Chain A
Amino acid sequence: MPAVPGPWPSPLAYVPSAGEFDAAGPLTLVVFLPLLGAFVLALGPRPVARVLTRVAVLWTVPGALFLLAAAWFGASGHSVAGVRWLERLPGGGGFVLSVWNLVPALLVGLTAPLALMVEEPRAKTRGRAAGLLALAATTQAAILASGPGVCVLGWLGGAWSLFVLLGEADAETQGARAHGSFVLHTLAASCVLAASLAPPLLPLLALAGAIRLGIPPFHGALARAYEILPTGAVLLMTVGFGATGLLAVHDGLAALAQRGNAATLAVGTVAALGAAWAGLYALPQDDLRRRLAGFLSAQGALWCALLALLEPAFARPAVGGWALVTFVASVSVIVGYARLWAFTRTGDLRAYGGLGHNALVRSTLLLVALASLLAAPFLGARGRGAMSLLALVRTAPLAGLAAALGGALGCLALGLAIYRTIRGRAPAPIPAPDLAGREWAFLFLFAVTLVFLSSLGPEIGGLGSVWPVFAAADAP
């Protein structure tokens, strides 16, 4: 386990001494300002609800700006101590921002305003805006937590936010479809709680992470959640739950590895077969959101297999870089589809088509995002993702081929969906289908962010260096 806290590599490993903390400040603001916004939206008077809902994004902007500034000025230091920010909360617990969790925190921080601005199939309500703010805040709490208490609360708060968002979105069946996902994500939070109570229970983190990543047998629940949730919540889930889930899987497997290779071998083999199953599951889905969820499930299972079956020092940088590119490209896919979802109000693939004819720029965005997803193993961590997959095939052929098949089938499923969206003629003409001004702004900001991330030094966690830094710091 690393000697510096931060959920990206390790949520429960080490709590800094009290003297290292400063009073509550910007990090507290990153978490509590959106939470305050959620309370104001939920409890505010009815006459001003519409105004509050429209300006809900403002609650997330200061946090995003602070994280950008921290990354910018931290990057100029080019050292491990470039960013190390510890804050304590008045009631106990605290937050930490370090090179180890800066990149996922920054990604969630940038995704939060996007989640509140993106077009939705249904009219925006204050309940949904409050749920999105709470989801962003609790995800940040899980990432920035300096100790197990805040980390557990972040995970549990994420499950509750999801419950509210699912229940609000599933009004037709009186919220009945919210229960399955909530039960699973509460189970995940309970696993984190149990792991925080006693070191022998740390392997339960792998189960918690598997639930968040949607690794089989939890892929169905992830697909159902993606199908029901508002687009903004899908964005936050993809980035936030993906990052925290991957972290938990990594830590759980690291704890499991200390008990011998047999357990990790079994988990890795099951995960590899699960990747193949998730890929097969994604392929016949006729709902675009379910395909995206299936693709992410297959990727998650593939990463889990790599982490379990390969040497940690080799697998960590590979998986970290690969996952980072995948999250960023998935956000682009979701943003590219948001307006289409908002218009058709369904994820059914039969409602899509002909985008290449009437929205060339949007089609290009989707194709570039797909190309990024396909090239993620080569882009992230300087190609270590692809190398690690080859190594897995060489050392454990059955598991390696199953994992590779799963990843390929997931990519094929998403690629075919995008192809179907672009080719042919539109079943129903979409008004102003090409990128709007707001989406152009997103494109610009996201491109800047990508360039910024890729330009960061290894200490700060550039695109190819999140995990190598961790590995270096972990070394004696």
Chain B
Amino acid sequence: MIPRTVLDRTATALTFAFGAIAIAVAVHALGRAPAPPTLDPTGGFADDGWTRACRTAVLLVTGLSAIGLVRAPGLRRIAALLALMGAGAGVVLAAGALELPTLWGGIALATTLAPLAIVLADTRRSAARHALTSLLLGALACGVLALSFLALSALSGSTHVLEIGFQVTRFEDSAPFALTALRAAAVAVAMLAAWAPFHLALPELWGEGSAPLAGWHAVVWPWAGWSVLVRLSGGLAPALEEWGFDGVSAVSLFLVLGALLPGAAALAEDRLGRLFALLGIGVLSELLLSVHARGLDAGAVASGLWGYALAWIVGAAALAGVRARTGDDRLERLLGLSTRLPRTALAVAVAAFLWVGLPGTFSLAVRWSLWQAGAASPLVLVAVAGGALLRVLAVARLVAMLYFRVPSGTLEPPLVPHWYERGRWGVVFVAALAIEVALALGAQPWAGRLLTIEPVLFGG
């Protein structure tokens, strides 16, 4: 029988080593010279700009999550890591898939294994609830996607997205059915990418869960959702052109609701994690500005998701620090935090500012590009600006609590975690923030690779 401590240490070493390697591979991939897109011999997979961007992001986030897995002991930690790796592989599979069954299979794998990772890696009672929520949401999205894909393949007589784009118009009256299937797929994507009104369950999952696991879900699931949309819109481009489909109008409701609802909800939030989740969901919804009349700008989505991921990493690190020092993340316990824990309060404030736009950071730069290139109507743009206003007010409320309020006299003294635990989230916070600034200043070749992805395959 192997002693438990040995198992724990071995698991720690393994997960840490995997995390470091995954991060190194991701950074190396970002620094590589651009290459033209390629198709595999069967034509079922594309290795293009979107696939590479998604693969790099999943590697980076899975590596960071592996380093952050501290709650599970021994073998459970390794099992959780394997589940996360499997789920990440599913997302990467979906990102490059041009066949509908593979595309669906990748999403199904990601939405099944990721909840398993939650229960394996987090031993708290609330983790089971979060896993169930995640599983149900994923199952619902997969079910809707399955119906949508079945309808599209039946109408076109093919399962390859590039063929569907040409063949789905062979019947004159196929347009309403195909567009309904496409809208259903968009609803499934909305569940994965947290577009309102499907954002309601996610603040609990992303905001209350263990920071690395919640962060993995918050970053990787939107990549999965957008992968479906990128592949479908790319493949169906000829059909959308023929039908005169207006993508901007189709997503405007999601955009307006996504900009306003999370911001309004954030104003009334009483937990820091959920507040960050709602702020993040609001920012994520702005990516819908990259949808154009006949498709979407995959490069804008990818760079937007990169900026979102960096902001989320900074926020998750700050959140982990707050939880470790104060015990939980209820806002009432954070009153006057700046006088008790000035550095922790500053980290929280900086993370919150990232969600509303901190000048000189990559996440703001990509959001600004997105706003400027958006083809939405003025009314929708007013809603986007209104959502930004609501999120600024929510952050101002948080800053006032941290800096302008007198701390409650009955608070317990702050916890003092081990130096290596503090170092873990401290290093991640500082590194992610430094990367944000360096990329905003145009550090090459990484900034170039994140701002402009390599070409993406599309039909027509």
Contact = CB atoms under 8 A, between A and B. Distances in A.
A187 B388 CA distance: 10
B405 A175 contact: yes
A182 interface: yes
Interface in B418-447: 440-442
Contact of A197 (B372, B399, B406): B372
A410 interface: no
A43 B349 CA distance: 13
Nearest to B346: A43
Interface string A190-221: 11011001101100000000000000000000
A149 B384 CA distance: 16
B406 A174 contact: yes
Nearest to B406: A174
Contact of B441 (A91, A168, A198, A201): A91
B393 to A, nearest CB: 6
A456 B354 CA distance: 44
Given A178-B400, A193-B388, A186 B360 contact: no
Given A91-B442, A190-B388, A197 B404 contact: no
Given A91-B440, A91-B442, A163-B396, A174 B388 contact: no
Given A91-B365, A149-B368, A156-B392, A197 B400 contact: no
A174 B407 CA distance: 10
- Scoring A43, A90, A174 by chain B CB atoms within 10 A of each residue's CB, the highest score goes to A174
Nearest to A149: B368
A190 B382 CA distance: 9
Contacts of A91: 360, 365, 440-442
Contact of A190 (B368, B386, B404): B386
A149 B393 CA distance: 20
Interface string A225-247: 00000000000000000000000
Contact of A193 (B359, B378, B385, B393): B385
A104 interface: no
Contact of A175 (B360, B374, B400): B400
Interface in A144-161: 149, 153, 156-157, 159-160
B381 A175 contact: no
A189 B442 CA distance: 27
A92 interface: yes
A263 interface: no
A361 interface: no
Instruction: Bin chain A's interface residue count.
Output: 20 to 34
B400 A201 contact: no
B220 to A, nearest CB: 28
Contacts of B381: 194, 197-198, 201
A91 B389 CA distance: 24
B431 to A, nearest CB: 18
A194 B405 contact: no
A183 B393 contact: yes
Given A182-B396, A186-B393, A186-B396, A194 B360 contact: no
A119 to B, nearest CB: 24
A179 interface: yes
Contacts of B371: 193, 197
Contacts of B360: 91
Interface string A157-174: 101100110011011001
Contacts of B388: 190, 193
B132 to A, nearest CB: 39
A186 B392 contact: yes
Nearest to B404: A175
A190 B385 contact: yes
Contact of A179 (B396, B440, B442): B396
Nearest to A187: B389
Interface string B372-402: 1010001001101110110011001001100
B166 interface: no
Contacts of B400: 163, 167, 175, 178-179
B245 interface: no
Contacts of A175: 400, 403-405
B389 A198 contact: no
Interface residues of B, number: 29
Helix, strand, loop or mixed for chain A's interface?
helix
Contacts of B403: 164, 167, 175
Nearest to A195: B385
A200 B405 CA distance: 41
A186 B400 CA distance: 15
Interface in B223-258: none
Contact of B378 (A43, A179, A198): A198
B385 A90 contact: no
Nearest to A46: B342
Interface string B347-369: 00000000001011000010010
Nearest to A159: B392
Nearest to A192: B385
B175 to A, nearest CB: 31
B382 A153 contact: no
Contacts of B374: 197
Contact of A157 (B359, B365, B440, B442): B359
Contacts of A186: 389, 392-393, 396
Contacts of A191: 385
A168 B346 CA distance: 16
Contacts of B359: 153, 157
Contacts of B382: 194, 201
Nearest to A186: B392
A201 B378 contact: yes
Contacts of B404: 167-168, 170-171, 174-175, 178
Contacts of A92: 365, 368
Nearest to B289: A197
Contacts of A157: 359
B406 A194 contact: no
Given A167-B403, A186-B393, A197 B385 contact: yes
A170 B406 CA distance: 12
A201 B380 CA distance: 11
A182 to B, nearest CB: 6
B365 A194 contact: no
Contacts of B389: 186-187, 190
Given A186-B396, A190-B386, A197-B385, A174 B440 contact: no
Contacts of A168: 404
Nearest to B400: A175
Contacts of B385: 190-191, 193-194, 197
A196 to B, nearest CB: 8
Interface of B: 346, 357, 359-360, 365, 368, 371-372, 374, 378, 381-382, 384-386, 388-389, 392-393, 396, 399-400, 403-406, 440-442
24 contacts: A43-B346, A91-B440, A91-B442, A92-B365, A156-B392, A157-B359, A163-B399, A167-B403, A171-B404, A175-B404, A175-B405, A178-B400, A182-B393, A182-B396, A183-B393, A187-B389, A190-B385, A190-B388, A190-B389, A193-B371, A194-B381, A197-B372, A198-B378, A200-B378
Q: Which 3 A-B pairs have the closest CB atoms?
A: A175-B404, A194-B385, A190-B389
Interface of A: 43, 90-92, 149, 153, 156-157, 159-160, 163-164, 167-168, 170-171, 174-175, 178-179, 182-183, 186-187, 189-191, 193-194, 197-198, 200-201
Given A156-B392, A167-B403, 18 more contacts: A90-B442, A91-B442, A153-B359, A157-B359, A159-B392, A167-B404, A170-B404, A174-B404, A175-B403, A175-B404, A182-B393, A186-B389, A186-B393, A194-B381, A197-B374, A197-B378, A198-B381, A200-B378
